[in-house]
Amino acid sequence: MSCTTHKTIRTEGCSKSSQGQSIGSEIISPRGRATLTSWKGEKVCRSFTERFRAGIKSLAIILYFAGALIADIIPDAVVAYSDAGVSSKLVLHEHRDRADTINVNTWNLGTNTLTSADVASHTEAASTSSIYLNSDKVTITPAGYTVRVDLTDESILSNAGNPAAMIGKLIGNGIRAKYDNLVNALYDGFTTNAINASTAALTVDHLYSCKGFIDNQSDGSMPLSGVFYPSQLNGTYGLSNDLISSTSYAGGATQDQGLKTASYGTVAGIDLYSSREFTTANNANKAGVFRKDALALGTVGFGAGSPFKITPEYDADRATWEYVGFTFAGVIEVVDAYGVEVWTRLS
């Protein structure tokens, strides 16, 4: 008597492929069927089948832990993100679903304004003189910005992680950093008010001057933000040199916070922020202190929350995925007098 047994190998956590079975990035060569031919009857066939199944069970356990080990290593990867979404969240954001230009309207800031001088005493039954009042606008002209990252099939198959997901995160982070870069470049355009101290350190007195400049030109109803290059806040020529070293602020909450965390929260009525998205020159940097309505970011399409898209396209000839990030955006100064350029030394 002869017996032939066909058994397909299956292991927990495996997925079948044309090249075999895989766990994570491990490819297991196919062992499609185990065939036994015995001259000693069905009893021998059953005994071999049970021993074979026990061996496969052990193999499944080994492969499962191998896959788990890879998954545990992946989160330890080091990823260098940009400090994105700093400046762009502190200014007006005008979003349109479709537009080639974006207008930002302003009132009582142009040639014809209404002030207390226009409110006159009234004579009984007399006519009141009329004044002219008009709105003004500034116009954002968006432009396209793109970035492309290629991912080869070889990279995908030789990587235990998910490089496609990481590429998507980094493209989104890079686009948001670009928004900050565009906004930060506008501080150099503040002409009504400026702190020109390119050979000196940033001081608390500089911040109080900024507060005074803006309050002289506005109603003081909005909080002020200051965005600085990191070494303008901390370092030999940073705010820390004045705020921490001076006995004038000894024992204060702001000094205590600075000593512990090297951050200062609000100083002189200005919320302080740090950004690396500046183009520094001659060992100095032009930062900015401003009201929210001093500047504006305009974006078009893809939703106001994430106004950009990431498109993957596969190039079969190159065996490569091409990931392209795109945004249609622009920035504009809205009210010059509502901001101050702060030009100080870095090191």
Instruction: Tell me the pLDDT tens digit for each residue of 278-304.
Output: 999 999 999 999 999 999 999 999 999
Residue 281 CA from chain centroid, whole number: 24
For residue 152, is pLDDT > 80?
yes
| pLDDT on residue 57 | 43
Quick one: pLDDT at residue 260?
Answer: 80
More confident residue, 158 or 254: 158
Query: How far, CA to CA in Å, does 167 sit from each of 117, 173, 312?
Result: 59, 10, 11
pLDDT at res. 18: 40
Residue extents of the structural domains in the chain: 3-76, 87-106+136-345
* Measured CA angle at 304 (ends 299, 310), to 5 deg: 80
Q: How confident is the model at residue 249 (pLDDT cuts 50, 70, 90)?
A: low
Question: Spelled out in words, what is the top-level CATH class assigned to the domain 87-106+136-345?
Answer: alpha beta
Instruction: Calculate the CA dihedral of residues 270, 273, 279, 285 and round it to 10 degrees.
Output: 50
pLDDT at site 46: 52
d(CA 65, CA 7): 24
Give strand pairing partners of 296.
92, 332
CB 228 within 8 A of CB 202: yes
DSSP secondary structure string, 203-256? Answer: -HHHHHHHHHHHHHHS-S-S-EEEEE-HHHHSSTTSHHHHHTT-GGGTT-HHHH
Please state, in angstroms and as integers, the Cα–Cα distance from residue 338 to each residue in 92, 290, 294, 313, 330, following that order: 13, 6, 5, 45, 19
